[in-house]
Amino acid sequence: MALETDYIVIGSGVAGLRASIELAKSGARVTVLTKDKASESNTEYAQGGVAVVLSDDDNAELHEEDTLVAGAGLCDTEAVETLVTGGTKYIKQLIEWGTEFDREGGKLVFTQEAAHSRRRILHAHGDSTGKEIVRALIARARQEKRIFLMPFANTESLILHEGRCVGVRFLDPILRAPREIFAKGVILCTGGAGQLYLHTTNPSVATGDGMAMAYFAGAEMADMEFVQFHPTALNLENAPRFLLSEAMRGEGGILRNKFGERFMGNYDERLELAPRDIVSRSIVAEMRKTGTRHVFLDMTALSEEYLKERFPKIYETCKFYDLNIAKDLLPVSPASHYCMGGIRTDLHGRSTVAGLYAAGEVTCTGVHGANRLASNSLLEGLVFGARAGEAMITDNGKWKVESGKSTDEDQKPKTKDQPSEGIATAVKKRVKRVMWERVGILRDKDSLNRALQEFRQIEKANLSISSRNFVTLAKLVAKGALWREESRGGHFRNDFPERDERFRVHSIQKLGAEISSSEKINF
């Protein structure tokens, strides 16, 4: 028997939790599905902090300008204004709800990160900002008796009726069998797709399923070619690519090559505080020049006492691998970190499919343009999660939940037999390696065409739903990168190294259609 609720939220990061709270305020029943435990999301791993205009020497215009500069000419100005002005309101609300940002003498402490002109970054417990925000939002959500959290429920596809999204299919966490749940509307807050790449700072759940589900439901996808690679992921053999926060360079960290030389001055006058895409490419260039697989982050000018207090999680993680961040040079290299592209939405989280909304990294709102400004992601999830919840209530009040209606033919793969887990693992490993080698930090026509050829070969196999989603997303990124014959922000083409004003447009991809372009994301 199918389940019913008023609204479905998929994902329990900052965007999903904030949307759920907004929906529940109306008295609606809200079911939150997440494929892991409720706190497992990209939000929980966000170390750097959250950017917000609250300090005395800052203002909204400065934050907007920094965001637009980082976005390399592709930000939608209205979206940026919405983010910055709404951010102050929603961060104040978070503080009222008990979020414990770091303070000194009772006053909030603001730090600076790359490409910010002011110290406007709030942190919690040094380098555990995302975890603290999730804690506060989960505590607030549990006060709403109309919010039902369903962990370990892996969503497989969206249900459509007459072109409208009316529910989802998911694997029941107890029965381990497919089930359906119907609602007036669905909000996707499933995060990004960092796991598409061999080396990533993202948790294992960041496989981009929400993006793929929306694409197969007919939603437009925007700017999929823009992937941000974080410059400084810890690079140790037999260890995960643990993120060494942007804030470490903000606090004075220096990048050195294998000879101990500071090299960023050879690439950008802003040195270590240049935008992430520039720092990442500079590191790659230096590694190639010196024949190494990593460079070093040097924090030794700062005291151990200060570093231990400022970066407690990073300090302990490095200590586990026999590294003292106050005394040792830390081996680092870039890793995939954030997707600027995603489901095309308006400023209220509406996708191009009726009844389907989205918020957070799964979307492309136009806020980040070609390159996200550090610490704007948590703010985006908070602001647009709340706005999507508001819009869903306003738009769908008249709709009834009717689970008995026939549904549109969806894009579920026609498999003869369910592929084994081993095959699914092999497919993902292959895709991740191809993406890293051919659709990575440096791209060109030949490597992108070869990647697409490999993906088409992989698609011929009998794939599981998750494998099909994974390969599809990889193709969307590669196709967008092949189409964009210029270098801008997080997208760099060796064969088109300059920015081209003809491409000061957004790439739009839709199932069954060729890539098109649009001057604006919002519609």
- 174 backbone φψ class: left, alpha, beta (φ>0; ψ -120 to 50): alpha
DSSP for 405-474, written as a single string:
S----------SSPPPHHHHHHHHHHHHHHHHHHSSSSB-HHHHHHHHHHHHHHHTS---HHHHHHHHHH
Q: How many CB atoms lie within 10 A of CB 523?
A: 12
Helix, strand or coil for residue 507?
Answer: strand
- Report the distance separating Cα 335 and Cα 377, nearest Å: 17
- Residue 467 is which amino acid? S
Q: Give catalytic status of residue 276 as yes or no.
A: yes
User: Half-sphere exposure of 48 toward its Cβ, with a 13 Å CA cutoff?
Assistant: 31
Task: For residue 201, give every residue at least 6 positions away whose Cβ sits within 8 Å of its Cβ, in sequence order, or none.
Answer: 45, 194, 230, 233, 241, 242, 243, 335, 336, 337
Give the active site residue among 18, 169, 241, 276.
276
Residues 200 and 181 sit within 8 Å (Cβ to Cβ): no
Task: For residue 400, give every residue at least 6 positions away whose Cβ sits within 8 Å of its Cβ, in sequence order, or none.
Answer: 184
DSSP for 192-214, written as a single string:
--GGGSSSBSS-TT-S-HHHHHH
* Beta strand pairing call for 121-122 and 110-111: antiparallel
CB contact burial 308-323 (16+ within 10 A = b; e otherwise): bebbebbbebbeeeeb
Active-site positions? 276
